[in-house]
Amino acid sequence: MNEIFLDDQSIRERFYPFTLTRHVADMRVGITTIREKWERVFGVRTTDDRGATEGIKKIPANLIPSKEMAEHILAGKDLTDLPVRQIEYPWHIFQMNDEWVRLDFELLTRNKRSEPISQTNRTISPGSIFVEEGAKVEFAMLNASGGPIYIGKDAEIMEGAMIRGPVAICDHAVVKMGAAIYGATTIGPGTVVGGEIKNAVFFGYSNKGHGGYLGDSVIGEWCNLGAGTCNSNIKNNAGRVKVWNEFQKQFHFAGTKCGVLMGDYVQTAINSSLNTGTVIGTCVNIFGEGLTTKFVPSFSWGRGGKYELEKALENIERWKKLKNQTISSNEIRILKHIFEETKLTPA
Strands 85-86 and 278-280: unpaired
Predicted model pTM: 0.94
- Would you state the pLDDT for residue 65? 84
Domain with CATH 2.160.10.10 in the chain: 107-341
pLDDT score recorded for residue 346? 46
Between β-strands 230-231 and 250-253, what pairing exists: parallel, antiparallel or unpaired? unpaired
pLDDT given at position 1: 46
Average pLDDT for consecutive 10-residue bins of the chain (347 residues)? 82 95 96 92 78 72 82 73 84 96 94 96 98 98 98 98 98 98 96 98 97 97 97 94 92 95 97 96 93 94 92 96 95 96 65
- Return the pLDDT at 216: 98
Amino acid 3: pLDDT: 80
CATH for 107-341 (3.40.430.10, 1.10.10.10, 2.160.10.10, 2.40.50.140)? 2.160.10.10
Q: 107-128 in b/e burial notation, b at 16+ Cβ within 10 A?
A: bbbeeeebeebeeebebeeeeb
Distances from the Cα of 237 to the Cαs of 257, 275, 323, in angstroms?
12, 14, 41
